[in-house]
Amino acid sequence: MQLDKIALNCDWFDFEDVVTFITLMSHLKGGTQGSRTKLWSSLNMKDSDALKVFLGMREISFEQQNLFETLHRVTFNYFAKPDPGQPDIWLDSPNWRFTNPRHDRQAALKDCQLDLEYVDSFGLAAAAWEKDVFKGTYKYQQTNEAQQFRLFVALGVFGFPDPMQFFIPR
């Protein structure tokens, strides 16, 4: 049974747009020294929500919805692309379609390692990947099948429709 989710429509975004969206949202947090802006604190959000909104969220507040819609518009203005407007910006199921060009569909998970370059390309801080996505360290735990499996499952639980995209042959 699929529980209700809400997701930003990816149809007008390319991967660079997603990275810009994540980067712009990170600017709202404030400095890297741990202090957060009052605006960020009032939104009650995780650092990874800029990515999660494309993969599907169970619920968002009115303020969070407004923030995501504003960032959606800013992302298009940032690149001076035609703004698609607000209709159909929200979907009740995610339409994430981005793939890793380095991924080899023929390789088995047991013969692969996490593609750290691909993970880093999203522009999300390593701490957010560890805290919100992988629920633990990921950069140095690729020595056995059990660890690979844990990373794979964590990506699926977070909402990525094809976690195998994050793995490349050893």
The last residue of a domain, from among 61, 91, 121: 91
Q: Could you tell me if 48 and 79 lie in one domain?
A: yes
Instruction: Give yes or no for a contact between 8 and 92, defined as CB atoms under 8 angstroms apart.
Output: no
Q: Could you tell me if 82 and 126 lie in one domain?
A: no
Q: What is the dihedral of CA 7, 90, 43, 96, to 10 degrees?
A: 30
Phi-psi region of 20 (alpha: psi -120 to 50; beta: other; left: phi over 0): alpha
Structure tokens belonging to residue 113: 């390692």
| Domain-embedded: residue 53 | yes
Mean pLDDT of 154-168: 94
What pLDDT is stored for residue 39 in this prediction? 83
Q: Could you tell me if 11 and 78 lie in one domain?
A: yes
Q: Does this model's pTM top 0.75?
A: yes
| Domain-embedded: residue 2 | no
From CA 142, how far away is CA 144, in angstroms rounded?
Answer: 6
Query: What is the domain count for the chain?
Result: 2
Instruction: Give yes or no for a contact between 21 and 10, defined as CB atoms under 8 angstroms apart.
Output: no
Structure tokens belonging to residue 155: 């990506």
Q: What is the CA radius of gyration of the chain?
A: 16
Model confidence band, residue 2 (pLDDT cutoffs 50, 70, 90): low
Nearby residues of 30 by Cβ (< 8 Å), 6 or more positions away: 36, 37, 40
Q: What average pLDDT does the chain have?
A: 84
Model confidence band, residue 79 (pLDDT cutoffs 50, 70, 90): low
Q: Give the rounded percent of residues in the chain with a pLDDT score beyond 70.
A: 87
DSSP letter assigned to residue 108 = -
What pLDDT is stored for residue 34 in this prediction? 62
| Domain-embedded: residue 96 | no
- Residue, of 38 and 130, whose pLDDT is higher: 130
Give the Cα-Cα-Cα angle 11, 107, 116 (nearest 5 degrees): 65
Using the predicted structure, report yes or no on whether residue 145 has a pLDDT greater than 50: yes
What pLDDT is stored for residue 40 in this prediction? 83
Give residue 169's identity as a one-letter amino acid code: P
What pLDDT is stored for residue 1 in this prediction? 46
Domain that holds residue 53: 7-91
